[in-house]
Amino acid sequence: MRVPTLPSRTGSSLEQLLRRYLATARTKTAADETARAFGRGAGIPGGGGPLPPNFGRPELSPGRRAAATFFRVFLPLSGGAMMYYAYTHPDKEALVGKRYPPELQYLAAQQTPNTDTLVNWSGTHEATPPRFFQPETESEVEAFLRVAARRGERLRPAGSGLSPNGAALSSEGVLALGGMDQLLSVDKAKMQVTVQAGVRVQQLADLLAPHGLTLQNYASIREQQIGGLTQVGAHGNGARIPPCDEQVVGLRLATPGLGVISLSEQEEPELFKLARVSFGTLGVMTQATLRVVPRHRLIERTFTASPAEVKRNHVRWLQENKHIKYLYIPYTDTVVVVTANPPASPAQLEAAQQQEAAPAVAAEQRTEALRKLYAGVAGSLLEPDPGAGMSATQLRDVLLAAGPGPLNAAWVAQVNAAEADYWRRASGTRVGWSDQILGFDCGGQQWVLEVAFQVAPSLDALKPGAQTRDLQFMDDLLAEIKKNNIAAASPLEVRWTSGSSSPLSPAAGTPQSLHCWVGVIMYLPPEPEKRAAVTDAFRAYTRIVETRLMPKYNAAWHWAKLEAGEGSGRTEADMAAVVRPRLAARYGPALAALRRYRAVLDPAGTCGSAWTDAVIGRAPQQGQPQGGGGGGEGDKAGK
For the cut 50, the answer to whether the pLDDT of residue 637 exceeds it is: no
Average pLDDT, integer, range 578-595: 98
Round to the nearest angstrom and report the end-to-end CA distance of the chain.
87
CA distances from 426 to 303, 354, 360 (A): 8, 16, 8
What is the CA 423 to chain-centroid distance, rounded?
Answer: 30
CB-CB contact of 583 with 615 (8 Å)? yes
Mean pLDDT of 321-330: 98
pLDDT single digits (tens) 533-564: 999 999 999 999 999 999 999 999 999 999 99
pLDDT for the residue numbered 60: 63
Q: What integer pLDDT is reported at residue 92 of this predicted model? A: 60
368 and 290 inside one domain: no
Whether residue 383 is contained in a domain is answered as yes
pLDDT at 354 over 50: yes
pLDDT at 137 over 90: yes
Domain interval for residue 377: 362-426
Please indicate, yes or no, if residue 537 is contained in any of the structural domains.
Answer: no
Q: What is the dihedral of CA 458, 462, 466, 472, to 10 degrees?
A: 20
Q: Which helix (H) or strand (E) holds 187?
A: strand 183-187
Q: Report yes or no on 53 lying in a domain.
A: no
Note the pLDDT tens digit of each residue in 509-536. 999 999 999 999 999 999 999 999 999 9
Which of the pair, 461 or 15, is modelled with greater confidence? Answer: 461
Q: How many domains does the chain have?
A: 3
The β-bridge relationship of strands 126-127 and 118-119 is antiparallel
Checking if the pLDDT of 294 tops 60, the result is: yes
Do 242 and 162 share a structural domain? yes
Q: In 10 A of CB 407, how many CB atoms?
A: 18
Residue 2, pLDDT > 70, answer no
> Which band of pLDDT confidence, cut at 50, 70 and 90, is reported for residue 270?
very high
Residue 577 is assigned to a structural domain of this protein? no
* Amino acid letter for position 403: G
Percent of the chain clearing pLDDT 90 (strictly above)? 76
310 lies in some domain: no
Q: Is 373 a residue whose pLDDT tops 60?
A: yes
pLDDT of residue 45: 41
Per-residue pLDDT tens digits for 93-135: 555 456 799 999 999 999 999 999 999 988 999 999 999 999 9
Q: What is the pLDDT of residue 93?
A: 56
On the question of pLDDT at 627 being above 90, the answer is no
pLDDT top residue among 381 and 494 = 494
Tell me if 580 is assigned to some domain. Answer: no
Whether the predicted pLDDT of 6 surpasses 90: no
- The reply to whether 177 falls in a domain is yes
Inside any domain, residue 590: yes
Q: Same domain, yes or no, for 139 and 288?
A: yes
What confidence score (pLDDT) does residue 1 get?
41
The per-residue pLDDT for 58 is: 56
Q: What is the mean pLDDT of the chain?
A: 88
At residue 91 the predicted structure's pLDDT band, cuts being 50, 70 and 90, is low
What single-letter amino acid sits at 340? A
366, containing H or E segment: helix 363-366
Q: Are residues 116 and 227 part of one domain?
A: yes
| Chosen domain end from 426, 447, 474 | 426
Shared-domain flag, residues 7 and 151: no
Q: What is the largest CA-CA distance in the chain?
A: 130
Calculate mean pLDDT across residues 136-152. Answer: 97
142 and 25 together in one domain? no
Pair 18, 166 in one domain = no
Question: Residue 497: beta bridge partners?
Answer: 515
Are 20 and 162 found together in one domain?
no
- In order of 86, 399, 419, 444, 533, the CA distances from 412 in angstroms are 66, 9, 10, 16, 15
Q: What is the pLDDT of residue 9?
A: 41
* Same-domain status, 121 and 33: no
pLDDT reading at 629 higher than 50: no
Verdict on whether the full-model pTM lies above 0.75: yes
3-state secondary structure of 175: strand
Count Cβ atoms below 10 Å from residue 262 Cβ, excluding itself: 18
Nearest to 403 by CA among 383, 380, 375, 368: 375
Same domain, 152 and 6: no
70 vs 355: which has the higher pLDDT: 355
Q: Is the pLDDT higher at 268 or at 221?
A: 268
pLDDT higher than 90, residue 87: no
Same domain, yes or no, for 144 and 250?
yes
CATH value at residue 275: 3.30.465.10
Give the pLDDT of residue 57: 52
pLDDT of residue 574: 95
